[in-house]
Amino acid sequence: MAVHVVKNYSQLAGLTVLVALFYFIFLVLSRPTSKLPGPWYSKWTGLVFRYQWFYGKQTFYTHDLHKRYGPIVRVAPNQVAVADLETVKSVYTIKETYRKTKFYELLASRPIQTVFSTADVELHRKLRRLMASQMSESSLKSMLPQVTSHVELAIQRMKEESKDRGVIDVFKWCLFMTTDVIGELSFGESFQMLEKGKKTQYVEDLENISSVSADRITFPFFFHLADKYDKILPLFKSKIAINRRLVEYSRQSLGRYQKQVELDATSAKHTFVEKLFQAEKDDKITFDDILTNAQTFIIAGSDTTATTLTYLIWSVCKRPELRDALLKELRTLPGDFTEPDLRELPLFNQTVEETLRVYSSAPALLPRSVPQGGAHVGGYYLSEGTTVAAQAYTMHRDPTIFENPDQFDPQRWVNPTKAMKEAFMPFGRGSRTCIGMHLAYIELRLAAARFLLEFPNARVSAREGMSDRDMDSTIYFLMSPKGKRCLIEE
């Protein structure tokens, strides 16, 4: 009798598993995304997609899928990548019909929502209104002296390194410069990286923040537990320590600036966060809101611009004819030229645009959520909540828009087509376009011009084992050169 009961239970368990399996298969195959082109395994699991993210290869992986399957491809059971221009234009709009996903909250270092991470349209508009005026082209004019002084100091330190070492590590000095600039414009004080001339713990933490984000997004549950119970769960301990140090450093810097404002607001330096302090007085936001947004500025405004600037200098120094043509154009300027003067130089600005096309510092997928009621995307119906995303890396390499897309060719921007302008999205697209875009352009123009004029015979060095492999890209959300260096010599 007992054997018979056990046998019945075994049969029932087997039947239950079989029914559950068939139900799972039914659910998978009935999803709208199952009808989309894509690798067979992406119907069933997103593990391959996460694996690619964890190792900084997801952008390249997605680009390869587009080349194989076309402009719309399923990359995971509920995630779709798009590369069709008309589709991209409909997803990334001013109206924000397709809202940001939870991905951005995981990407951010703190749970408090920022102008970058929030999916709340009204909160985003509120924060952007408070910050946009400080980051407008007109407001940045008053901050040009600070930016210029850091650029000039960076060039001076490069000259010293060239004399002492025989080469210049352009990536190092660009990173120090952009970190000092964004520190002063965010917290009212420079990090003095250019003066110190070597990486501090803070800069090392900034460099490693992308890998921290990769862990957080790949293993959100375990990362959250480890953050709360680091003594019990030592997993990710070093990565969590990076987050905590960045937060504490930002808290101290912001606290010092707040004291200056409270003592004498009229003499305090103009920064990106000064209006946020007024909003705090009016109980519209908290100090932690200001802190988290300021920290976002630091992360988004240092490594990104430094990376693009490094690739710009490297690309020009690899091409002597282009370098010499740029020098000829730059030498038409007066000795005391300013950033607005640089905007009038055709080839120079075409080179900046081409660098942003090929080496966008944020070239990865920008996830959005399909709105309530679902939507037709690229000729396919997608249900509500499906993640849809485009990436600048692929949009900038569409051969139907950019002829010979893998070739670095500033001349393509002499007469750009409408499609080229619309597909160009190095700072994002729609209402979520990077708020620091104007500052990035200012730093790129000023620093590149000063570098070329100071080092007219600059070329890529082969010393200390430097090779093009050092400049191969790693991309989590942001791009950076694998070698974390770029050696240039005269």
Annotated binding-site residues for heme read 434
For the record, the structure tokens of 475 come out as: 């991309």
- How many C-beta atoms surround the C-beta of residue 193 within 10 A? 25
CB 426 within 8 A of CB 357: yes
Cα–Cα distance list, 46 to 62, 108, 143, 271, 409 (Å):
13, 21, 45, 42, 37
Q: How far apart are CA 453 and CA 328, in angstroms?
A: 10
Closest CA to 177 of 273, 356, 310, 296: 310
β-bridge pairing 79-82 and 387-391? parallel
Distance from C-alpha of 272 to C-alpha of 131, rounded to nearest angstrom? 6
Residues 6 or more apart in contact with residue 395 via CB below 8 angstroms: 83, 85, 88, 401, 423, 424, 425
Angstrom distances, CA of residue 405 to CA of 68, 86, 323, 481: 17, 19, 21, 20
Strands in 124-173 per DSSP E: 168-169
Q: How far apart are CA 126 and CA 284, in angstroms?
A: 10
DSSP string spanning 338-361? -HHHHTT-HHHHHHHHHHHHHT-S
CB-based contact 103:283 (threshold 8 Å): no
Report the C-alpha gap between 198 and 189 in whole angstroms. 18
Could you tell me which of 119, 81, 54, 85 has the C-alpha nearest to residue 366?
A: 81
Residue 142 identity (one-letter amino acid) = S
Which helix (H) or strand (E) is 469 found in, with range?
Answer: none
Fill in the amino acid letter for 140.
Answer: L
463: left (phi over 0), alpha (psi -120 to 50) or beta: beta
Which residues are known binding-site members?
434
Taking Cα atoms as reference points, which of 452, 481, 485 lies closest to residue 466?
485
First CA to last CA across the chain, in angstroms?
Answer: 91
